[in-house]
Chains A and B, each alone.
Chain A
Amino acid sequence: MFPGKICVNNCLFAYRFCWLNRQNSMKRFLTTLALMASIMTQAQNGKAITEKTTFSRTTSVSTTIKADPAIIWKLLTNTSDFPRWNTTVISIDGKIAVGEKIKLKSTLAPKRTFKLKIKEMESQKSLTWGDGQGNRVFTLKMGDNGNTVFNMTEKIGGFMFPMYAKHIPSFDQSFEQFAADLKKEAESIESIKK
C-alpha cells in the first residue's frame, strides 16, 4: 500500500507540476504575442522600434508599399536575387520552403553565417525563419488603395540572453534599410508600364 501511495502522490505532483508549467508557458507565449503585436502596431512608416525585456529583445519595422503583394512575396522568397536589391544582405543560399534551411550572411555581422530554418509560410501573407536564438516574422497585409503593408519583426532571447545581449548590435538601422530597399524595388517593379 505504502509504495503505491507514494506512487500516486508522485503522479499527482508531476501532473500538477506539468499543468503549472504549461500554464506558465502559455502565459509567456501570450505575453510575447501581445508584445510583438504592440510593437508591430507602433512600427510604422519605415521607422524601426525595439523593445527590450530582461530575457528578450524585439525589433520591428513596417512600411506601406505601392505594389502587388505577389511582387513583394517573390522578392522575399527568391534567395539568390536578394543581394541585388537588398543592401543589408550579402548572400542567402538555399531554398525558401517550409522545413528547408538557408544560410544567410548579413552586413550586420559579415563574418557570421546564420543557419536558419524556414518555420512557417503562407503564400503572399507571412513567412517565419529562425534558429535557437529567435525568429524573424515577415507579414504582408492588404492596405488602402491596393497598397500592401509590410512588417518585419524579430524577437531574440532566452534564459541566457542577459549574458550575451550586450554583444548583439542594434537591428534598427538594418531593419529600416531592409524595408526601404524592399519598398524601392517593389515599387519600381510595380511601375513598369502595362
Chain B
Amino acid sequence: MTAEEFNLEFESIAPPLKSYLLRITASVHDAEDIVHDTYLKAVDKLYTFRHESTIKTWLFSIASNLAKDNQKVKKRWTEDVTDICKQEALGNRQFFQEAMQIATTSLHGAFEIKEHIAFCFTCISKSLPLEQQLCIFLKEVYEFKVGEIAVILDLSEAMVKYYLHVGRTKMIQVFDGRCALINKNGVCHQCSELNGIFNPKQKFQEEVMKIEMARDAEIADKEQLFDLRMQILQSLDPFNSGASTLQLHHLEHNRVVMER
C-alpha cells in the first residue's frame, strides 16, 4: 500500500476511530491525541501491514493498544456516575452558565434526548472492566465481527465472547435498574430533567415517544431494548451531531469529576 492510498484510507476511518476513542476515554483531548499517534505509528509500521486483516481492523488494533495504555493509570468509573456528577454539577454554577451559553449560541448546542442516551451509555460503560467495554463498543456500535475483535484486542474468540456476554449482561442489568425510559421504576430521570432545563417548551413525553427504545419499553425484552440503545449510539457521531458541543461539555465535566 502506498502512502497516498494509506492516507485516503485513514481519512475515511478516522471519524469512527475518533468517536470510538472518545467513548473509551471520555476525553476529546485524549481521543484526538490517540488518533494522531495511531496515524504516526501506522505510517511508521506500514511496511509490516500484510493485508491479513482489513486496514480498518489494523488501525483499530493500534488505536486500542494506545487507548489501553492511556486508560491503564486511570481509575474506572462507577455505575452511579450520573448521580455523582449531577450532585457536583448542582454545586457548580460555572458549569450551568457555560452549558446555557452553548445551548443558546452554538450550532451544535441543542439538547436532544437521543444524544443524552448515548452520552449516558458512554459514562456508564466506563464502570465495566476495560476489556468488556472495548468488546462492547467494537461489536455493538462499530459492528466488528468476533474474529476481528479478537485480532484488534489480541484475544481468543472465546475470550471476546466471554467479555461481550458479561459486559452486555452487566449493562442490561444496570440500565434496567436505573433508566426510567425503559423501566417505570428506574431511578434516573436525568434526560427528562435536562430536557426541562434546555427545552422548557417541549413536551417530554411526546419527544420521548419518537425514540423506539422508549416507545417499545413495555413490549420489548431487555435484550431487545439494549440492541435499540446500541442503535442510537450507532446512529450518532459524538463530534458532529446536533448536540455534540453541549454533550462534549457535559462529558468533560463528568470526566473531571470521576477522574480526580
Residues of A within 8 A of B (CB): 67-68, 70-71, 74-75, 81, 84, 188-190, 192-194
B39 to chain A, nearest CB (A): 30
A192 touches B165 (CB 8 A): yes
B161 touches A190 (CB 8 A): yes
Contact with A along B142-160 (1 / 0, CB 8 A): 0001110000000011110
- What separation, in Å, do the CA atoms of A192 and B157 have in the docked complex? 10
- What separation, in Å, do the CA atoms of A84 and B162 have in the docked complex? 14
Q: Which of B91-111 contact A (CB under 8 A)?
A: none
Query: B146 contacts which of A71, A84, A188, A194 (Cβ < 8 Å)?
Result: A194
Query: A71 contacts which of B147, B162, B169 (Cβ < 8 Å)?
Result: B162
Task: Provide 14 A-B residue pairs closer than 8 Å at the C-beta atoms, listed in order of the A residue.
Answer: A68-B157, A68-B158, A70-B159, A70-B162, A71-B158, A74-B159, A81-B166, A84-B166, A84-B169, A188-B165, A192-B146, A192-B161, A192-B164, A193-B146
Residues of A within 8 A of B165 (CB): 188-189, 192
Which residue of A has the minimal Cβ distance to B173? Answer: A84
Query: B145 contacts which of A68, A188, A190, A194 (Cβ < 8 Å)?
Result: A194
Known A-B contacts A192-B146, A194-B147; the reply to A71 vs B166 at CB < 8 A is no
Q: Which 4 A-B pairs have the closest CB atoms?
A: A68-B158, A70-B158, A189-B165, A192-B161
- What separation, in Å, do the CA atoms of A188 and B168 have in the docked complex? 13
Residues of A within 8 A of B159 (CB): 70-71, 74
A69 to chain B, nearest CB (A): 8
Which residue of B has the minimal Cβ distance to A189? Answer: B165
Query: A194 contacts which of B157, B162, B169 (Cβ < 8 Å)?
Result: B157
Residues of B within 8 A of A (CB): 145-147, 156-159, 161-162, 164-166, 169
Which label, helix, strand, loop or mixed, suits the secondary structure of the B interface?
A: helix
Which residue of B has the minimal Cβ distance to A188? Answer: B165
- What separation, in Å, do the CA atoms of A121 and B157 have in the docked complex? 23
- What separation, in Å, do the CA atoms of A112 and B197 have in the docked complex? 52
Which residue of A has the minimal Cβ distance to B150? Answer: A194
- What separation, in Å, do the CA atoms of A83 and B147 have in the docked complex? 29
- What separation, in Å, do the CA atoms of A84 and B164 have in the docked complex? 15
- What separation, in Å, do the CA atoms of A84 and B165 have in the docked complex? 12
Residues of A within 8 A of B147 (CB): 194
- What separation, in Å, do the CA atoms of A162 and B158 have in the docked complex? 45
Residues of B within 8 A of A81 (CB): 166
Q: 10 other contacts beyond A74-B162, A194-B157, with CB at 8 A cut-off? A: A67-B158, A68-B157, A68-B158, A84-B166, A189-B161, A189-B162, A192-B146, A192-B161, A192-B165, A194-B145
B134 to chain A, nearest CB (A): 16
